[in-house]
Amino acid sequence: MTEQLTHFIDGARTQGTSGNFQDVFNPATGESHSQVPLASAAEVAAAIASAKAAFPAWSAKAPAKRAAVLFKYRDLLISHSDEIAQLVSKEHGKTLDDVKGELARGIEVVEFACGIPHLLKGEFSESVASSVDTHSFRQAVGVVAGITPFNFPTMVPMWMFPVALACGNTFILKPSERDPSSVLRIIELLHEAGLPKGVLNLVNGGKEAVDEILTNPDVKAISFVGSTAVGEYIYSEGCKHGKRVQALCGAKNHMVVMPDADMDKAVDALMGAAYGSAGERCMAISVAVAVGDKTADALIEKLSPKVQALKVAPYTDPSAEMGPVVTKESKERIEGYIQSGVDQGAKLVVDGRGLSLQGYENGYFVGGTLFDNVTTEMDIYKDEIFGPVLAVVRTDEYETALQMVNDHEYGNGTAIFTRDGDAARDFTSRVQAGMVGVNVPIPVPVAYHSSGGWKRSLFGDHDIHGMEGVRFYTKLKAITSRWPSGIKEGAEFNFKAGKDH
């Protein structure tokens, strides 16, 4: 039977009134098991009004009281992690262990946000002039919104709302309509932890729902994570309507492999970073830049049997290393890119097309794919494929490899594998990317640091979570006070430096 999913507004699940629904599929079987309602603009406006009404009381609570909800929430997330993992895998396709990792990363942000009383502490200067003191502190922005992608259906929302709520904001969450069940459940758990109704409202929807968020004057800030085309639209429209916007977008992450690298470790790193989660990660490595033909030959020789042996299976098979991709359209798009690589002259070493698993013939499976001799003019080099496709590019020297990373339109993550500290230091200093790994293939910072790319991988001024998250979700206020005993007689018409008072 087809399950009807819901929004979560004013503290309860609600079907909505738009009458628009979209099918949600199990990518391993290709079967639709539920339908998600797509909110109309009027429904989103009502959810925003509910968040606006909840703002005065929530923002006035002591930060420690807001943190108390998050402490409880953390425990609920941990005790429900098996249930949440099942919900993610059934709609996304990734393995259960991979979901547990995603959840753990989201829970780290909740733990960071539990420290909000400390994080919101302001600054104080005594006697900036005679009898004058200045202090500053940060206050919540108001109603803020988060628009999130399919690939980390629980972690990416948790990059946003724990910090935003801890700071005193109220929140509108518009998750991906492709895998909506797990995020609905984690929002329900947040209310079990004691979040008052209306403080966070979840609305499912497509462009109509997003456009209401972009234009509604009661939304003060928007966090977006998703593709560059949509992110650029959200950034420009949101800014046009006077909102603060951070838009974390697409990627093409390069891993430079130096001739002195430990080749076995580099190959293991590439296998996990290129094919884990079927390559559907914003920090997946999709390009390996081999410095020197000997390095490239060694990489290809060691990679190809491992790519061929990748265990591609549904998440219900505990031995699965990689599941299906998320939709039929994704599978077709990825296979189209593989064909374009062949047409444009790359050497197809392992072809993941045409994979059919017994009992899962209608699933959206694409096998691990490996290209050699890829050049920078090819579409498989330039575009984010978001699938299990690794391109090996050959180059003669380190400088060309570095230049290649820097010339690419995206600058989300990158890595260098080397034993040479000098090369690693030079790379971390000169490379144009927001997250850099030295012998670490997926260098996503922990929750108490901040995460974000450069170039066309991020629009806006703030990275996400960590202190950048606190800054994004708060406004700074500076207070200057003089007590009556320090006020001089007579009007003062000239502007003065503090020390001249």
Contact footprint for ligand NAD (CB under 6 A) = 147-152, 156, 174, 176-177, 206-207, 210, 225-227, 230, 248-251, 282, 384, 386, 412, 453, 457
Q: Nearer Cβ to ligand NAD, position 329 or 361?
A: 329
Helix (H/G/I), strand (E/B), else coil: 463: coil
In the chain, the amino acid numbered 46 is: A
Q: Nearer Cβ to ligand NAD, position 156 or 402?
A: 156
Could you tell me the smallest distance in angstroms from the CB atom of residue 236 to ligand NAD?
Answer: 12
In the chain, the amino acid numbered 343 is: D
CB-based contacts of 432, cutoff 8 Å, min separation 6: 405, 406, 411, 454, 455
Catalytic residue among 114, 167, 249, 282: 282
Could you tell me the smallest distance in angstroms from the CB atom of residue 129 to ligand NAD?
Answer: 45
Place of tokens 């594998």: 417
What does each C-alpha distance from 216 to 36, 51, 242, 343 come to in angstroms?
Answer: 23, 13, 10, 47
Residue-wise DSSP of 99-158: HHHHHHHHHHHHHHHTTHHHHT--EEEEEEETTEEEEEEEEE-SEEEEE--SSSTTHHHH
Q: Nearer Cβ to ligand NAD, position 259 or 323?
A: 323
Could you tell me the smallest distance in angstroms from the CB atom of residue 159 to ligand NAD?
Answer: 8
With contact defined as beta carbons under 8 Å apart, do 112 and 466 qualify? yes
CB-based contacts of 421, cutoff 8 Å, min separation 6: none
Could you tell me the smallest distance in angstroms from the CB atom of residue 461 to ligand NAD?
Answer: 15
State how far the Cα of 130 lies from the Cα of 121, in Å rounded to an integer.
Answer: 25
Q: Quick one: DSSP state of residue 337?
A: H
With contact defined as beta carbons under 8 Å apart, do 364 and 327 qualify? yes
CB-based contacts of 489, cutoff 8 Å, min separation 6: none
Tokens of 235: 């950034």
With contact defined as beta carbons under 8 Å apart, do 272 and 441 qualify? yes
Q: Nearer Cβ to ligand NAD, position 208 or 420?
A: 208
How many residues are recorded in the chain?
A: 501
Q: Nearer Cβ to ligand NAD, position 167 or 251?
A: 251
Q: Nearer Cβ to ligand NAD, position 150 or 398?
A: 150
The rounded radius of gyration (Å) of the Cα atoms in the chain is: 25
Could you tell me the smallest distance in angstroms from the CB atom of residue 348 to ligand NAD?
Answer: 24
Is residue 282 flagged as an active site residue?
yes
The CB density around residue 10, as the number of other CB atoms within 10 Å, is 17
Tokens of 349: 């070493």
Could you tell me the smallest distance in angstroms from the CB atom of residue 259 to ligand NAD?
Answer: 30
Q: At what angle are helices 81-92 and 181-192 packed, to 10 degrees?
A: 160
State how far the Cα of 219 lies from the Cα of 221, in Å rounded to an integer.
Answer: 6
Could you tell me the smallest distance in angstroms from the CB atom of residue 310 to ligand NAD?
Answer: 22
Q: Nearer Cβ to ligand NAD, position 142 or 434?
A: 434
Could you tell me the smallest distance in angstroms from the CB atom of residue 266 to ligand NAD?
Answer: 23
CA nearest 382: which of 351, 420, 337, 431?
337
Q: Nearer Cβ to ligand NAD, position 101 or 196?
A: 101
Q: Which residues share a beta bridge with 256?
A: 289, 416
Residues annotated catalytic, as ranges:
282
